[in-house]
Amino acid sequence: MLRQASQTSVSDGLAVEAVDLVKDFGETRAVDGVSLSVPVGSIYGLLGPNGAGKTTTLRMLLGIIDPSSGRRRLLGHERPIDAAPEVGYLPEERGLYPAMHARDAIAFMGALRGLPLREGRDRADALLANHELGEWARKPIRNLSKGMAQTVQLLGSIIHRPRLIVLDEPFSGLDAINQGKLERLIRDQAASGVTIIFSTHVIAHAERLCERVAIIAKGKVAFDDSVAAARERLRPIVRLRTRAADGPWRAAFPPNARRDGDEWVFELPLNGPEPLLKALIDGEAGIETLAIERPGLHDAFVAIAGGDAAAEMGQPETAP
Amino acid sequence: MRRLLRGAFVIARRDFAATVLSKTFLFFLLGPLFPLLLGAVSGGIGASVASETEKPFVAVVSSQADFAALDAARSQLGEAVDQDALVRFVHYAPASNTSAQVKRLLATRHPAIRAVLTGGLAAPHMTGPLAGDPGTTGQLRLIIANAKSPPKTTTIAVTETRASSGSLAKDQALTAQIGQGLLFILTILLCGMLLSQLIEEKSNKIIEIVAAAVPIDSLFVGKLFAMLAASVIGIIVWTSCGAAAIALLKPGGLATLPPPAVGWPTFLMLVVLYFAMNYLLLGAVFLTIGAQASTAREVQTMSMPVTFTQVVIFGFAATAVGNPDSIKALIAAVFPLSSPMVMLARAAQEPELWPHLLALCWQAVWVAVILRLGAQLFRRTVLKSGPRVKWWRARRA
């Protein structure tokens, strides 16, 4: 149940809260009952394949479109537009006025969020200089490379020093160097207390950056918790190579243990590694190698969203 | 409201700067001069051709004495009627074969002969294709009668006044027509541009940033007022050029223009206000329609029916000129899209000011209503992702 007071959710520690958001486009249900809770100051990832409903969810959270049903609250405001001066947004489809100078484009985006134009220009000059784009400040956007233009738009989304930054597929189209710069910028903003939500279909980015993730598939939230909790959903994997091919120690293996070349691969039994080790030693299995691997976010994603969704995620773009 | 206005100001400032500081704005300012120049040139050529072709001569085959009497009578008639409406004479001495001479004269091209008058004053006879031209025969009858027995001249004392009710009504109706015409031309020139105003934002995807930062109403209001401000610059330039041209070319200058009923200062103020209202009303409609278009091709397709609609509205408003209190005029004054043009015509013809205050409030309400509906339609049909919904099906979506 949502509370009414404007600052309640922020004081409760939630920058964004969504309850049962549904969005229908004609006969198609793009988002089906999405509920999210984004803690203040966290880096929160929306993870899912293309078409899962990430962008539509973000657009509803920001008030660009209204949900068919459900409720959302942004920085304590029931109407997202009321929170607009404290929100920065980088949409998936990048767009700037081609004839505008870089500093003016950044200042314009700040002005839309309530920042005085003159102050916006001064800040834009400083930000562009900090991002090695100082000499491009007074050049039209159309003269900038794609990566530079994306950086300009990103700077435009933080120029007014928002408390919440929403980035829709921010790494899309960036080369490895610029992806690294963007990751640093996200971490810097988060370090100063800004809440960051970003959507991605590249698991590696979410795994590196996010404290919490929501996994969205087919318009539904399949998981919403910390990255650690996602990984803890899976048992650690044991990889074992023994000198003896068989013996009574095999009884300590779970039923789904399988051979992978000359290795045994199976989930770590619920009673932990000690009984397994005891059985191997007592049974003189002759341990050659034994590895207990913690599952990655990708494994967790496959387990949570299914193999098909994982396949749709595709290969990660060049990651730094 | 404060957020809406602030957002609108940011949008308007960007749009205004982008429009006025672009190189193409110079062409925008020069645009109306091209049709004026074309009109002046073609009008001059047309007038010259008309003077040569539409006033053929009547060939007078007579003695020199008879012709002199006829010419004197014609000059006397010329004091009463417009010289251009009078028949013109050219004299030929009688030949031995009269019928052959008449036939030859009717075929003459320099000067072009309308008819041939033979028989002198004693037995006048007209030959020519005069069945459809009773005026020429009528004038000849009068001129010949006067030539035979010149009437006595009578002197009438004249006391000159500046105006009379009859002359004022005619002048003010002319002012009303000119005012309506100018309003129509300016609006048709400028509103068409609004059809494509949102294409830029939609094609370069910045619409998402704007929609997330300010209410969509701000986008509509900002765009509309930015174009209005740019238009006002154009109007100041065009009006100044027009006033300078009238002052230079028309004898007596601006003072000779027919005075409106509310007086020139109030009328000019109302011209500005009604132009703004006319522009905002039609502009809001066109912006809404244009916002549904995704490509320049769609905008072009829309522009023709939109222009025709404007012509129909102008025609509706024009019925009010001359009779501003008629039922038709009142309906046209109440209908929001024709109201500014009708009320401007009324200002030229009726001195009361309170109807204008009422009309301006009424029009402002409709500007707000249309903008609100336009913004809602835009949000509903354009901003949402997923399958595109045609705007005419928006109600069902």
Q: Which residue of A has its CA nearest to B215?
A: A81
What pLDDT was estimated at residue A1?
Answer: 35
- Give CA–CA dist B168/B157, Å, rounded: 23
Read off the tokens for B127: 């030959």
Distance from CA of A50 to the nearest CA of B (A): 13
Is B247 in a helix, a strand, or coil? helix
Chains A, B: CB contacts within 8 A come to: 84
Residue A111 in contact with partner chain B when CB distance is under 8 A: yes
Q: Determine the distance from the C-alpha atom of residue A312 to the mean position of all C-alpha atoms in its chain, rounded to a whole number.
A: 16
Residues in chain B: 397
What's residue B385's pLDDT? 42
Residue A101 identity: H
> Which chain B residue is nearest to residue A111, measuring alpha carbons?
B10
Q: B389 touching A, CB under 8 A? A: yes
**A263-267 and A258-260 as β-strands: parallel, antiparallel, unpaired?**
antiparallel
Most distant pair of Cα atoms in chain B: their distance: 98
| Cβ atoms within 10 Å, residue B152 | 4
Instruction: Determine the pLDDT at residue B166.
Output: 63
Q: Is B3 in CB contact (< 8 Å) with chain A?
A: yes
pLDDT per residue as tens digits for the range B171-210 = 777 777 877 888 888 787 777 777 776 777 777 678 888 8
Backbone angles phi, psi at B258, to 5 degrees: -65, 130
Minimal CA separation from A260 to chain B, in Å:
44
With an 8 Å Cβ cutoff, is A97 touching chain B?
yes
Handedness of CA B4, B7, B11, B13 (dihedral sign): positive
Q: Within an 8 Å CB–CB cutoff, is residue A53 touching chain B?
A: no
The pLDDT value recorded for residue A255 is 85
What type of residue sits at position A250? R
Q: Is A57 on the interface with B (CB under 8 A)?
A: no
B135 alpha carbon, distance to own chain's centre: 31
Q: Which residue in B217, B385, B393 has the most chain A C-beta atoms within 10 A of its own C-beta, making it the best mutation to test that interface?
A: B385
* Residue that the structure tokens 């249309």 belong to: B370
Nearest to B278 by CA among B201, B202, B364, B204: B364
Query: Where are any strands of DSSP class E within chain B?
Result: 57-61, 88-92, 113-118, 125-127
Dihedral angle of Cα B306, B311, B317, B323, to the nearest 10 degrees: -170
CA distances to A67, A179, A188, B13, B379 from A124, in Å:
34, 21, 17, 18, 31
pLDDT tens-place values along chain B, 397 residues long? 788 889 999 999 998 998 888 888 888 888 777 766 776 676 666 656 555 555 678 999 999 988 998 888 888 888 887 777 788 899 998 888 888 888 988 888 878 888 999 988 888 998 988 887 888 888 888 888 888 887 777 778 777 766 666 666 777 777 778 778 888 887 877 777 777 767 777 776 788 888 889 988 888 889 888 888 888 888 888 878 877 877 777 666 656 666 787 887 888 888 888 988 888 888 888 877 777 777 777 777 777 787 788 788 888 888 777 677 788 888 888 998 888 888 888 888 888 889 999 999 999 999 889 888 888 887 777 666 444 445 455 444 3
The sign of the CA dihedral B335, B341, B344, B350 is negative
Reading the block at residue A160, the tokens are 């007014």
C-alpha distance from B13 to closest chain A C-alpha (Å): 10
Specify the 3-state DSSP secondary structure of B87: coil
A120 and chain B in contact, CB less than 8 A: no
User: DSSP label at B208?
Assistant: H
State which residue of chain B sits closest to A141, comparing Cα positions.
B204
Q: Which residues of B touch A59 (CB under 8 A)?
A: 208, 385
Q: Which residues of B touch A98 (CB under 8 A)?
A: 204
Which among A26, A65, A112 has CB closest to B7? A112
Contacts of B211 in chain A (CB under 8 A): 64
Query: pLDDT (tens digit, 9 = 90+) per residue, B207-239?
Result: 888 888 998 888 888 988 888 888 888 888 887
- Classified as helix, coil or strand, A29 is strand
Residue A260: helix, strand or coil by DSSP?
A: strand
Asked if B77 and B146 count as a contact pair (C-beta separation under 8 A), the reply is: yes
In this complex, do B204 and A98 lie within 8 Å of one another by their Cβ atoms? yes
Comparing CB atoms, the residue among B6, B206, B208 nearest residue A64 is: B208
Neighbour count for residue A301 (Cβ, 10 Å) = 27
Interchain contact A54–B (C-beta under 8 A): no
Q: Does A59 touch chain B (CB under 8 A)?
A: yes
Is B379 near chain A, with CB under 8 Å? yes
Q: A96 at the B interface (CB within 8 A)? A: yes
Among B205, B206, B216, pick the best mutation site for testing chain A contact (most A Cβ within 10 A): B206
- Please name the residue of chain B whose CA is at the shortest distance from the CA of residue A56: B385
Q: Are B173 and B179 in contact (CB under 8 A)?
A: no
- Answer for the pair A220, A241: CB distance below 8 angstroms, yes or no: no
Q: CA neighbours within 13 Å on the CB side: how many for A34?
A: 35
CB-CB neighbors (< 8 A) of B14 in chain A: 97, 108
Q: For residues A61 and A74, give the distance between their C-alpha atoms in angstroms, rounded to a whole number.
A: 7
* Cα-based distances in Å from B199 to A13, A59, A112, B227, B385: 41, 21, 19, 15, 17
Strand partners, A199: A46, A168
Q: Do A30 and B386 touch (CB under 8 A)?
A: yes
Determine contact, residues B60/B121, Cβ cutoff 8 Å: no
CA distance B202 to chain A (A): 9
B202/A contact by beta carbon, under 8 A: no
Distances (CA, A) of B40 to B44, B50, B184, B376: 6, 15, 20, 46
Rounded to an integer, what is the distance from CA B341 to the centroid of its chain? Answer: 12
| DSSP state letter for A32 | E
- pTM (predicted TM-score): 0.70
**Token pair of B98 as six digits:** 């009269």
Among the partner-chain residues A64, A96, A111, the one whose CB lies closest to the CB of B212 is: A64
- Integer Cα distance of A60 and B44 in angstroms: 63
Please name the residues between 245 and 284 in chain A that touch chain B, using a CB distance below 8 Å. Answer: none
Q: How far is B387 from chain A (nearest CA, A)?
A: 7
Which structure tokens are listed for A197? Answer: 């939500």
Q: Which two tokens stand for residue B221?
A: 């209001």
Q: What was the pLDDT predicted at A6? A: 40
Q: How far is B203 from chain A (nearest CA, A)?
A: 9
A226 contact B CB<8A:
no
CB nearest to A111's CB, from B10, B212, B385: B10
A106 touching B, CB under 8 A? Answer: no
Query: B-chain residues within 8 Å CB-CB of A30?
Result: 385-386
DSSP for B154-198, please give it: --------S--HHHHHHHHHHHHHHHHHHHHHHHHHHHHHHTTTT
Q: Within 13 A of B298's CA, how many CA atoms are on the CB side? A: 13
Q: Output helix, strand, coil percentages for chain B, rounded to the nearest 5.
A: 70, 5, 25
- Name residue B40's amino acid: A
- Looking at residue A283, what is its pLDDT? 87
Q: Which of B87, B98, B99, B145 is nearest to B121 (CA)?
A: B145
Dihedral class, residue A173 (left if φ above 0, else alpha if ψ from -120 to 50, else beta): left
Closest chain A residue to B396 measured between Cα atoms? A26
Smallest CA–CA distance from A59 into chain B, residue:
B212
What residue of B is the nearest CA neighbor of A167?
A: B209
- Residue contact B213–A30, C-beta within 8 A: no
- pLDDT digits over A89-132, tens only? 998 877 788 889 999 999 999 999 999 999 999 999 999 998 88
Start-to-end CA span in chain B (Å): 29
Classify B350 as helix, strand or coil.
coil
Cis peptide before A98 (omega within 30 of 0): no
Match 């500014």 to its residue by tokens: B340
Structure tokens at B175: 């002012």
